[in-house]
Copies of this chain bind each other. A is one copy, B any other.
Amino acid sequence: MIELTQTSYTVLGLVSLTTDGATPYDLKQMVAISVGNFWSVPHSQLYAEPDRLAAAGYLSVTREKGGRRRKHYKLTSKGRKALDEWVHSPTEGSIELRDPGILKLFFGADPATLAAGQIEHHRRRLNEYEATRKFADELPSPGPRLALEAGIGHEREYVRFWSKLAKKG
């Protein structure tokens, strides 16, 4: 019995999007173009976590015999069940800002100076999001597009917030 973390569900969720399984490298690619924008996962985790999940019966593994001997992971019924339950369960996690910029602001950083950097950061993020918008609009499932909208709203809010501070200085 292992504890499933958000990373676990991210992996399960990504694997569930494939038809014939995924290798850690596949997962890495998928993260990069999907959840990576708002929920990054270092690639080493994408090797470690599937093994954890496989050991606990949530994924099955097949290893290539020759060549790269890559590991291919697929959802087991147990894995699919866990994923479904997670998706449909009420969300527990306490969402905190945990924004280092806000922490600095709290402890006395000069608002105007800090704001300049933060605005740029959020603007860049915003651009990245909007660049993938067309792509997301084409997808059959609405989830990614809705998540993207959340991200855009989020970045816009922070651009607003820091812009207010920048002006005051």
Interface residues of A (CB under 8 A from B): 6, 9-10, 13, 16, 34-35, 37-40, 83, 86-88, 90-111, 113-114, 117-118, 121, 141-144, 146-147, 149-151, 153-154, 156-158, 160-161, 165
- For residue A117, give the distance in angstroms from its CB to the closest CB of chain B: 5
Q: A103 to B9, Cβ gap below 8 A?
A: yes
Asked whether B103 lies within 8 Å of A117 as measured between CB atoms, the reply is: no
Q: Is B154 a contact of A106 with CB atoms below 8 Å?
A: no
Q: Are A87 and B108 in contact (CB under 8 A)?
A: yes
Q: How far is the CA of A13 from the CA of B105 in the complex (A)?
A: 11
Are B103 and A39 within 8 A (Cβ)?
yes
Q: How far is B96's CA from A90's CA once the two chains are assembled, in angstroms? A: 22
Q: With A9-B103, A147-B102, A161-B149 in contact, is A109–B87 under 8 Å at CB?
A: yes
Chain B nearest CB from A5 CB (Å) reads 10
Which residues does chain B contribute within 8 Å of A109, judged by CB atoms? 87-88, 143
Which residue in B87, B91, B97, B111 is a CB contact (below 8 Å) of A146? B111
A102–B99 CA distance with the chains assembled, in angstroms: 17
A-B residue pairs in contact (CB < 8 Å), sample of 5: A35-B106, A38-B97, A93-B100, A95-B101, A102-B147
> What residues of B have a CB within 8 angstroms of the CB of A110 in the complex?
88
Our pick among B37, B93, B111, B153 for the contact of A160 (Cβ within 8 Å) is B153
